[in-house]
Amino acid sequence: MSATERPPLVFDANVLIDFLNADDELLTAVVRTIGPVHVPVPVLNEVETLDEARCGALGLDVVMPTLREIDAASTPSGRLSFADRTCLTLSHQRGWTCVTNERALRNACKAAGVPVARGLRLLICLVEAGAIGTNRAEAAALAMHASNPHGIPADVLDEFRRLLRALSG
């Protein structure tokens, strides 16, 4: 994903929580620089520190899935929660990129031919676009890793830092 494409994005709960815990202003930077960020209502319901008003202030678009989309997401699938299946369904049916750090959802997106990206990839896009510096990106990534080491394991963080060094060098 390049920062110039402006793809519509749908965030799952873990990525929203990572950004909110690390530097919530980066969500606004993503919207301004990379593309619109959609938050399905089932995802919003999983994030205790976020409501519709705060979404609006950050530039995030809260979306209610259609009945057809809810029906499609209601079918159990492996380890995916209803909110995860909603992200997958919306991405598939609306042509959005799913942003998640969850392995099961990333794999399901790949299997369905849905574009998928990790939350840290968006930080790289922000740096590439000149919206933030490498120091801010690294600080955010370290904070995300500290609060979510399972979703952002050390090897993923190391690869992110290698990409950042390549951008600054």
- Contact (Cβ atoms closer than 8 angstroms) between residue 67 and residue 37: no
Does residue 60 lie within any of the structural domains?
A: yes
Taking the complete model, does pTM exceed 0.75, yes or no? Answer: yes
Does residue 3 lie within any of the structural domains?
A: no
Print the domain residue range for 107.
9-168
In tens, the pLDDT along 16-63 reads 999 999 999 999 999 999 999 999 999 999 999 999 999 999 999 999
- Contact (Cβ atoms closer than 8 angstroms) between residue 100 and residue 14: yes
Q: What is the DSSP string of 61-107?
A: EEEPPPHHHHHHHTS-BTTB-HHHHHHHHHHHHHTPEEE---HHHHH
In tens, the pLDDT along 63-85 reads 999 999 999 999 887 889 999 99
Does residue 51 lie within any of the structural domains?
A: yes
- Contact (Cβ atoms closer than 8 angstroms) between residue 44 and residue 11: no
Q: pLDDT tier at 2 (50, 70, 90 boundaries)? A: very low
CA distance 39 to 31: 12
Domain at 67, CATH number: 3.40.50.1010
In the three-class reduction of DSSP (H, G, I as helix; E, B as strand; rest coil), residue 49 is classed as coil
As for how many domains the chain has, the answer is 1
Does residue 126 lie within any of the structural domains?
A: yes
Does residue 152 lie within any of the structural domains?
A: yes
Residue 3 has pLDDT above 80, yes or no: no
Does residue 43 lie within any of the structural domains?
A: yes
